[in-house]
Amino acid sequence: MRFVVIGGDAAGMSAASRAKRNDRTLEVVVLEQTNDVSYSACGMPYNIADPARPVEDLVVRRAEVFRKEQNIDLRLGHRAQTLDRAERTVSGTTVGGEPFQVDYDKLLIATGARAIRLTAPGADLPGVMTLKSLEDARRIKDYLNRHPVRSVLIVGMGYIGLEMAEAFHERGVKVELVKRRPSTLPWAPEGMADLVKSELEAKGARLRFATRVSGITEDDGCLKVTFDSGDQTVVDMILVAVGIMPNSEIAADAGLELGPSRAIAVDRSLRTTDPDIFAAGDCADAFNVITGQRVWVPLALRANRAGWAVADNVTGKSVELPGIVGTAVFKVFDLQVARTGLSLDEAQGAGFAPVNTYVKTRSRAHAHPGNQTLHVALVADRGSGRLLGAQMVGKEGVAHRIDAVAVALHAGMTVAEFTQCDMAYAPPFSPVWDPLLTAGNQLLKALG
């Protein structure tokens, strides 16, 4: 029995490793188009921030280890291009231009996603970069090392854009950011978005909202950028961080069903519409536990978890994943920003009658030194009283606190049930009523 995996990052290598651990007799072939496997993509901004750290620090396990210690047939530089479901083959070309073809019994498509590029004239000039793969990280780091980069324009303010703003700042590069939408956090109350804006500006970043890059030209070794608004700026480098799109073409071409954002549609066992073909990682969708709807939220934990579940299902177990609630956290300089579940707008869109509350509380007990303001918003459904989501911003106590709400969402708790939870209290860590409970108590009042 041969299990073929297309793509050797989080989902693919998790699946390959676990499948081998589950069943040593299984033949496992991994086709990876680059020369990198198993690296911490989310760590790239922090690595780029530090000129002294080699990019290779981000590699969690080297190709040789998978091959020698796990007996995985890992083929680097193999770009899979065509999937023949009738013949059960995957074929493609190596970096050397050689064609190849592999038979499979079970197949996992873990092709990931790619960065969306700008379409404006000049978007392909040298110095205009994206950050999705380890190769991208090397390219950015090399560029920073080889050029006197004093200024950068970051296009987009998603978490990659914001984390890279900090990374460039750390390296002494002056940062400008531009976003097509009018707010830093479109899914959070305005007060929270304003906090992020103020934090970026306090660190010297120049922000532009509600405009797009309409053209880029080279200008005396620099990049001259023109915006829709007519504004112009001149920078040494541009990072395009306007989002990613799933690498689902090989699946679509083979007639497999796609879900939201053209991600590959999978059921709770990670099977595509072909029961012998699985998909996992950034190329695949998931069920939202709260709405039951298909969503595409490409994040690392889901990729790893889905990889494991595929391995189990390929090796004779029967595993179903309930899905995700959309929990995420990121750091913007001194701020922690987190969300889980639905925003007010998303809840409305999913057919709930949402009610929300937005409280600003202290991060520590009454009169305790070092207190910070913590912003907490909760969303609930008026009819059922069910908790639907949370958003949080603050200088401390955000990153792990959000998980308490995530667990409550998985459990389908009402706000009333959530506010009865026995949470930890000590003066250095929270007020007696944890900020989540204070927000929950407010929301209970709003629910009436």
- Residues 307 and 108: their CA atoms lie apart, in Å, by 9
CB closer to its own copies, 133 vs 151: 133
Q: How many amino acids of this chain bind its own copies (CB under 8 A)?
A: 69
Q: Is the dihedral of CA 343, 348, 354, 359 positive or negative?
A: positive
Q: Which range of residues in 131-139, 202-210, 220-228, 406-414 is near its own copies by CB under 8 A?
A: 406-414
Stated as kind and residue range, the H or E segment containing 192 is helix 190-202
CB closer to its own copies, 40 vs 91: 40
Q: Which range of residues in 109-117, 171-179, 213-221, 431-439 is near its own copies by CB under 8 A?
A: 431-439
Which of 91, 84, 70 is closest to 24 using CA atoms?
A: 70
Least distance between its own copies and beta carbon 398 (Å): 9
Is residue 410 a contact residue for its own copies (CB under 8 A)? yes
- Residues 91 and 71: their CA atoms lie apart, in Å, by 22
Residue type, 149: V
CB closer to its own copies, 35 vs 420: 420
Strand segments (E) across 69-156: 73-76, 78-84, 89-94, 99-103, 106-109, 113-115, 128-129, 151-155
Is residue 10 a contact residue for its own copies (CB under 8 A)? yes
What is the CA angle 332-40-28, rounded to 5?
Answer: 155
Is residue 399 a contact residue for its own copies (CB under 8 A)? yes
Contacts with its own copies, 345-384, as mask; x by CB under 8 A: --------------------xxxxx---------------
Contacts with its own copies, 148-177, as mask; x by CB under 8 A: -----------x------------------
Binding to its own copies (CB under 8 A) within 267-326 occurs at 289, 299-302, 304-305, 321-326
Catalytic (active site) residue 42: yes
The values of phi and psi at residue 100, to 5°, are: -140, 160
Strand segments (E) across 123-167: 128-129, 151-155
Stated as kind and residue range, the H or E segment containing 95 is none
Is residue 327 a contact residue for its own copies (CB under 8 A)? yes
Query: Where does residue 51 rank: exposed (0-12), middle (13-18), buried (19+ CB within 10 A)?
Result: exposed
Identified binder of its own copies from the candidate list 68, 150, 382, 400, rule CB under 8 A: 400
User: Would you please indicate which residues are annotated as catalytic (active-site) residues?
Assistant: 42
Tell me which residues touch its own copies (CB under 8 A). Answer: 10, 40, 42-43, 46-47, 50, 53, 57-58, 60, 159, 289, 299-302, 304-305, 321-331, 336, 338, 340, 365-369, 397, 399-404, 406-408, 410-411, 413, 417-418, 420-430, 432-434, 436-437
